[in-house]
A and B are shown apart, each in its own frame.
Chain A
Amino acid sequence: MSVNTWLATGNFNTTYKQEQKTFFTSLDRSVFTFFLLILFIWPLIFPLSNKYMLVIDNVLIAIVAVMGLNLVTGFAGLISIGHAAFVGIGAYTVASFCRTIGDTHVIITHFWPVMIILSGLVGAAFGGLIGLPALRLKHLYLAIATLSFQMIFQWVINFMSFFNQGQTISVGRVFWFTGKIGRKDHYLFWYFIILTVVVLLGFGIRNLLKTRYGRCLVAVRDNDRAADAMGMNPGLTKVYAFALAGFFAGVAGALHAYLYRGVGFESFTLHESIGYLAMAIVGGLGTLNGSFWGPVAIKYLDLGVENLSEILGHYTPGMNLATALKPFTFGLVIVLFLMFEPRGIANWWRIIKSYTKLWPFRY
């Protein structure tokens, strides 16, 4: 080990265990802890309006969903274009309970952490089930299989009266130790909850990737036959990759249901699935921090274009600019990233990090 644990230069690891550390220096750990502390404290010091808190909460939920998508598509190399349907499974798990026992039942309002975990598990079950075709299918064919799931999901929700034919199913307000969470604190409360979920699941993935199960995902992505020859079980790996992605998506869906206090079909369409995929690509497939960058970039791009369209609309009254501008910028950003930075924003982060580590010396 290096003598100085704050600014270690060079690789002093002598065991594999040392190489598995989450933080290589004390500086890394301190900076991360400080950053996390800021994330939890800033809304108390600089309170934002509900409108902006809703946007931020929405980004955090997308991060949870994209972490799952990145596991299956980025790390395991299994393309999934039905991810919004998995998120929908989580949301509709909460909605199903609301339909059955009432949206103000104590299970919904007081035992919401249990509901969130349960939604994740239901998502995982569906993920595992949908992952079964992955045993036989690859690449484009697997993509079509996940697309089929998206279509079936949409059809079922849209036509079954139990799911209110896709129209909003209400979810009651939750309780905390201090009592019922009213409108004033709703978005701030869910900010803390979703942020906690993001941190826990983020560490979960970070640790998973250090285990043999995590390494199996990457091995199967790179060459499943070679992985098989090395004694891994590619079939099982593919199925649990889908199940894990389903779990993350299910949790994201439940959080969405509680945040919006309702579940409606339009939040889980194919368009949303493409959106999640775009977030994963823009953020950086196969990287953990890419799952954070992607949703932030795409959601704020959406918001930026929305504001720009509103401003331009005043100067071009005859033109329906926003309708064209939004899909245009969305598509353009994905194409540009695929062409010029296929490793996503995560790669910029890597470059910045390595630059600051070497600074002020180039080599």
Chain B
Amino acid sequence: MKTKQLFLNALLVLAVMFAFTSPAFAGNVYKLGLSLAITGPTSDAGNPYSKGVEDYFKFANETGILGADKIDCTIRDDQYKTDITKRNFEDYLDQGIVLYLNYSTGSTLGLKKDFEEEEIAVIPASFHRGNLDGSNYIFLPVASYSEQVISMGEYVANNHKGETPKVALFLHPSAFGRGPLADTQAAVKAGLKIDIVEVVEHGKDLDNTAMLKRLMSKGVQYVISQTIQSPVATMLKDAQRLGLTSKTFGEKGKLTFLGAHYTGGNDLIALAGAATEGYHWICSYNLTSEKTEGTTKQLALAKKYGRDAKAANSHNYANGIMVAQVATEAIRRAKAAGLKVNKENLYKMLNGMNGAKAYHPYTTVGPVTYSKTDRAGVDMLQIYSVQNGTFKKVGSPMQSVYMKKIK
């Protein structure tokens, strides 16, 4: 009898101990999925991007942004291959995700029909305008590549002295690179005062001497790039070696280089060194080289989760944080409105992010504004240029005039 009593007491003690030591988690868990290139091509951008997403969701869960509820975002490497992205997406759907985060242009275009069928909101890392054609569920985080290239064209037209400036476009040989071409040509037709003299689709050239000489012989003064960092770095180094890089913006007889989001950042400086001096870069993100409240928070987040300086200062880390911020905010708003957090309501919340309800993430130079007719998030763009080895702001954030005209 005594033994039985002892056993029961021991059980009771264990039960009480277990009740106090086990996590007292009573909230909901919202499943999200991210598929991106952590390895393979473009992983230099994908790696910090994934860290940004991971860190912000951790932060949101730890600080209780969603109260007792948590976000569980599975992050998988797709090696920049659409078939692996498809496999990851199918897996996430089986897990019951409420929002999906994608990465590349190719896979976003490839899975567009699936997104439509599943009626799930998707935020990719690709800013290709073609993602939005025939799609209702893809939300670009920031202004499209087209808008970025046209904005640079406008910047050239506004700051060039003399006759209509001659411009060459330096594009990645893919939809990602080619996307802005037709839009830029349409903007020129609509009155944008630049003359597109040549469109170069770069290969894997290790030397651009011939191309640069050809551009010079055609009187080109500005080269606008829509590609990734490594081909731009090669071109900048060759231009410097040949003495073709302008010292000031639009210097006559020289080339002034400009580029869109994925051409720039600290990695470009690391690749091309001093040859990047004077390089103009357009981007919707705050950079840590220009201290603001947002960049301080970004660096603090990176420090909190033990990220190295390279990741912490990367604009792609900021990009990842921003996407996670938007997703978290959509969930928070759905909860605040007393709605169930599901695919339908998150889609509604994203579409409602405009006017007074626009969302201001700390990582960007402007607010996120989505609606049923505008699914490019941050419309503001900031031009930066390399000065003494770091990117510095040039003027205030701008918004493309011609993009609205050609839409």
Report which A residues bind B (CB closer than 8 A).
49-51, 54-55, 58, 158, 165-168, 170, 183, 187, 260-262, 264, 266-267, 306, 309-310, 313, 318, 320-323, 326
Contact = CB atoms under 8 A, between A and B. Distances in A.
Contacts of B84: 306
Contact of A267 (B79, B83, B109): B83
Interface of A is mostly: helix
Contact of A183 (B38, B77, B117): B117
A313 B54 CA distance: 14
Contacts of A50: 90-91, 93-94
B43 A320 contact: yes
Contacts of A309: 39, 77
Contact of A320 (B47, B93, B109, B110): B47
B10 interface: no
B109 A168 contact: yes
B333 interface: no
B90 A51 contact: yes
A313 B174 CA distance: 30
Contacts of A166: 174-175
B113 interface: yes
B240 interface: no
Interface of B: 38-40, 43, 47, 76-77, 79, 81-84, 86-88, 90-91, 93-94, 106, 109-110, 112-114, 117-118, 130, 173-175, 178, 308
A260 B94 contact: no
B52 to A, nearest CB: 15
Contacts of B174: 165-167
24 contacts: A50-B93, A54-B86, A54-B87, A58-B83, A165-B174, A165-B175, A165-B178, A167-B174, A170-B113, A183-B93, A183-B114, A183-B118, A260-B110, A264-B110, A266-B106, A267-B82, A310-B76, A313-B77, A320-B39, A320-B43, A322-B39, A322-B79, A323-B40, A326-B39
Contacts of A51: 87-88, 90-91, 94
Nearest to B179: A167
Contacts of A54: 86-87, 90
Contacts of A183: 93, 114, 117-118
Given A165-B175, A167-B106, A49 B91 contact: yes
B173 to A, nearest CB: 7
Contact of A322 (B77, B87, B109, B130): B77
A58 B90 CA distance: 14
A187 B93 CA distance: 14
Nearest to B307: A317
Nearest to A321: B39
Contacts of A264: 82, 106, 110
A168 to B, nearest CB: 4
A266 B80 CA distance: 10
Contacts of A323: 39-40, 43
A58 B87 CA distance: 11
B175 A167 contact: yes
Contacts of B118: 183
A310 B114 CA distance: 26
A262 B113 contact: yes
List of 6 A-B pairs having minimum Cβ-Cβ separation, nearest first: A168-B110, A322-B39, A51-B91, A50-B90, A323-B39, A167-B175
A204 B67 CA distance: 63
A313 B43 CA distance: 14
Given A50-B93, A167-B174, A322-B39, 6 more contacts: A54-B86, A58-B83, A183-B117, A266-B82, A306-B77, A322-B79
A133 B112 CA distance: 41
A49 B91 CA distance: 8
Given A54-B90, A322-B38, A322-B77, A168 B43 contact: no
Nearest to B44: A320
A266 B81 contact: yes
B102 to A, nearest CB: 13
Contacts of B114: 183, 261
Contacts of B110: 167-168, 260, 262, 264
A54 B84 CA distance: 10
A279 to B, nearest CB: 16
A162 B341 CA distance: 42
A274 to B, nearest CB: 15
Given A49-B91, A49-B94, A261-B113, A168 B106 contact: yes
A313 B39 CA distance: 10
